[in-house]
Amino acid sequence: MSRLKRLILEIHRRSLWQVLLIYVGGALVAYQAVQALTEGLGLPQWFPGLAVVLFVIGLPFVVATAFVRETGAPPVAPSEMEAAAAEGAAPGALSGGPRPHITWRNAGLSFVVALAVWGVVATGWLLFGGRVVGLTEERESVAVLPFANLSPDPENEFFAQGIHEDILSQLAKIGDLDVISRQSVLQYADTDKPTPRIAAELGVDAILEGSVRRAGDRVRVVTQLIDGRTDAHVWSETYDRELTVANVFEIQSEIAEHIASALQAEFTPEEKQRISSPPTANLEAYDYYLRGLEFFGRSSEEHDFRIAVEMFENATQLDSRFALAYARLSRTHSYMYWFFFDHSPERLQQAKDAVDRSLEIEPDLPEAHEALGFYYYMGHLDYERALQEFEIALGQQPGNVEVISGMGYVERRRGNFEVALTHLENAARLDPRDGSLQSEVGQTYALLRNYAEADAHYDRALALVPDDAEAYVLRALNYVDWEGDVFKAAAVLREAADRGLDTVDHPYLGYMWVLLETSVGQDEAALARLSSGSSAAFSTQHYYVPKAMMAAEIYSRMNEPERARQHLDSAVALLEAAIQETPEDARLHSRLGIAYARQGRVEDAIDAGERAVELLPVSKEAWRGLHPIASLARILTITGRHDEAIDRLEYLLSMPAGISVARLRMGSEWDPLRSHPRFQALLEEYE
């Protein structure tokens, strides 16, 4: 008898056909249950597929038990089986004893086990995996479009914008509701896009539209809630009342309650209490507060922050118990300090005084705890205390994107890049049209050296905000780190120039242009750019580079030593004076160390570079702390201590950092290391 025939007889003898039929039938029934549970529990759509995989995994066990597990007399030898078959014996008679112990019990047990495993995974997802900060799949979502200003006086635009932002803030306090943040909805002001399209772009269930008319002592607010899928009006209301802060906040509270009710979002008594209390009774103070919000959210430029400070201070002078204005004032002071617009102890103390006053007036104010979190983060790099304050604020405002993203920034600075990425991506989901958030996500991917993903987010950022100068620089730098392609990077910067963005004095664009021009030998163009600007240095929170120092390096390559020396001396004088004013600024010590190295002052150079590392160690700042190490590597390279320089570069390449093999291969500052065997081996190892 052939082997195939014997196999078929054996399968028939062990009743495999019946068992498989039982198993497949049971699996189909179980799959239907899985689909129903997936939909009922709000589980991700890949959960039914997981069940199918588990059922397929269980199938080999069903088949295997058919061949290894039976009871009764021992099986008949193959020769006896063939003889019996030749005499026409029935398949069941060939066993020589009881039927095999492979029945519906074994098949049923296999798909029950598979279903149980699925249930464990589903339970784990519901308990742990489905909980992300500021975002859950079960909650309803809404976007509040900018309110139209119908006031006779166009100067009241700030008032309409302030009402809009306050309503967003009120809705963020409802834990069962996802609210798209302000930056994502601003672009829809005066839009003619149909509501379903806007809802699809923002990924929300409903859209709130409205208008504000302020005239004399009256305020009129008209709102309508629209179903994002059907374009049907769910609810509308007109509020026409005397213009008082109490009435304005009563309107905002009623709007929030109507939205929660219409979307069937759970609205707890505590949440109702939080949105019902007006922050001030002084209308003029409230006006100044709204003006401050306008300038605070306008840009990251020093001019706007200074005006915001003035507006918030006016509000607090008119109402000394205006806790919300004090909280925002503290935030603005912290930002002034963080971005080095005023990196003085006095500015930092102003931030602390303002938030202390806010908490003294209203200890549970979430905006005050948010401000205190930013104070600890930006002022002291005290990450633990910052996160504690952010958690308190998030407990009362679960949808606060600024808090969620703030937690991401803190985790990034403390070196938890993957955790930071999770927070920032969650914030970006709640604020999908905010280009700056897309850039932040991109920067985090770049630090993790996932350059392709970083580029995708930079592309998204520029599509959302085509005039974002920093996004152009980040994308250009990404091409350098990723592919070592300076020409592709230059093409990105030309796009910025075509949009009329400043390419001379801008701390990011101007600096990047000079670096790219010198890397391709366009020294004259770089010198022209350096001499045509009005600022003495390119300054950001990450670096401080005197323009004279860059000019000195160019003249040195052009073999004009006297002009190089003059510019280098000028740069050293500028840096030494700056250090006298802010001696704890690591950026200044790093750059001074490089300048000293160019002057041949070896010991002074190394001392300055090491001082920068001491002031801003990686243990204190996992992102900015990398820059002093890179600068020290440059100092050691210039001064001929090549093995020590390579030690630092090896450290930087071994961790998430803003340095790449492609940049090391193309950077002229590393030319003295090119022939060093350790340097060559290092590049090959991390290629």
Same fold across 284-482 and 536-685? yes
Give CA angle at 201 (393, 149), nearest 5°: 70
Q: Whole-angstrom Cα distance, residue 150 to residue 157?
A: 9
pLDDT at 611 (0 to 100): 98
Kindly list the distances between the CA atom of residue 250 and the CA atoms of 147, 163, 328, 333, in Å, as whole numbers in the listed order: 17, 12, 22, 30
Place of tokens 């937690």: 407
Specify the pLDDT at position 106.
Answer: 58
Tell me, what's the pLDDT at 99?
47
DSSP structure class, residue 135: B
**Residue 34's pLDDT band (cuts 50, 70, 90):** low
Dihedral sign of CA atoms 14, 17, 18, 19 in order: positive
Residue 137 has pLDDT above 60, yes or no: no
Site of tokens 């519901």: 126
Q: Report the percent of the chain where pLDDT is more than 90.
A: 52
Q: Please give the distance of CA 585 from its chain centroid, rounded to a whole number.
A: 27
Q: Which of 439, 381, 454 is nearest to 414 (CA)?
A: 381
Distance CA 253, CA 498 (A): 46
Strands (E), 274-432: none
Q: Are 524 and 552 in contact (CB under 8 A)?
A: no
Instruction: Give 284-482's CATH code, choosing from 3.30.300.30, 1.10.3210.10, 3.90.105.10, 1.25.40.10.
Output: 1.25.40.10
The partner residues of 210 in beta bridges, in order of sequence, read 223
Per-residue pLDDT tens digits for 381-422 = 999 999 999 999 998 888 899 999 999 999 999 999 999 999
**Residue 190: its pLDDT value, please?**
78
- The pLDDT tens digits for 74-106 are 444 445 444 444 444 444 444 444 444 445 555
Name the CA dihedral angle for 566, 571, 574, 577, rounded to a multiple of 10 degrees: -100
Most confident among 153-162, 480-489, 503-512 (mean pLDDT): 480-489
Give which of 628, 627, 573, 562 is closest to 595, Cα–Cα. 573
Residue at 320: amino acid letter: S
pLDDT digits (tens, 9 = 90+) for 562-594: 999 999 999 999 999 999 999 999 999 999 999
- Four-way CATH pick for 536-685: 1.25.40.10, 3.10.450.50, 3.30.110.40, 1.20.1050.10: 1.25.40.10
Separation of alpha carbons 577 and 549, rounded Å? 15
Cβ-based neighbours of 640, under 8 Å, separated by 6 or more: 672
Report the distance separating Cα 13 and Cα 9, nearest Å.
6
pLDDT band at 671 (very low <50, low <70, confident <90, very high): very high
Domain range list for the chain = 3-129, 140-275, 284-482, 536-685
| Beta-bridge mates of residue 214 | 219
> Model confidence over 284-330: pLDDT tens digits?
999 999 999 989 988 888 999 999 999 999 999 999 999 999 999 99
pLDDT in tens, 357-380: 999 999 999 999 999 999 999 999
- What digits encode the pLDDT tens for the residues 470-487? 999 999 999 999 999 999
Question: What per-residue confidence (pLDDT) applies to 658?
Answer: 74
User: What is the C-alpha to C-alpha distance for residues 179 and 528, in angstroms, rounded to an integer?
Assistant: 49
**Is CATH 3.40.50.300 correct for 140-275?**
no
Nearest to 535 by CA among 334, 667, 340: 340
pLDDT at 156 over 90: no
**Distance, first Cα to last Cα, the chain:** 61
- What 3-state DSSP class applies to 225? strand
Report pLDDT digits (tens) over 426-451: 999 888 888 999 999 999 999 999 99
Name which residue leads in pLDDT, 24 or 283. 283
- Alpha-carbon Rg for the chain, nearest whole angstrom, is 33
Look at residue 456 and tell me whether its pLDDT is greater than 80.
yes
For residue 265, what pLDDT is reported?
Answer: 76
Closest among 330, 329, 340 to 301, alpha carbons compared: 340
Could you tell me where the beta strands, DSSP code E, fall in 145-217? Answer: 148-149, 177-179, 206-215
The alpha carbon of residue 280 and the mean position of all alpha carbons in its chain are separated, in whole angstroms, by 34
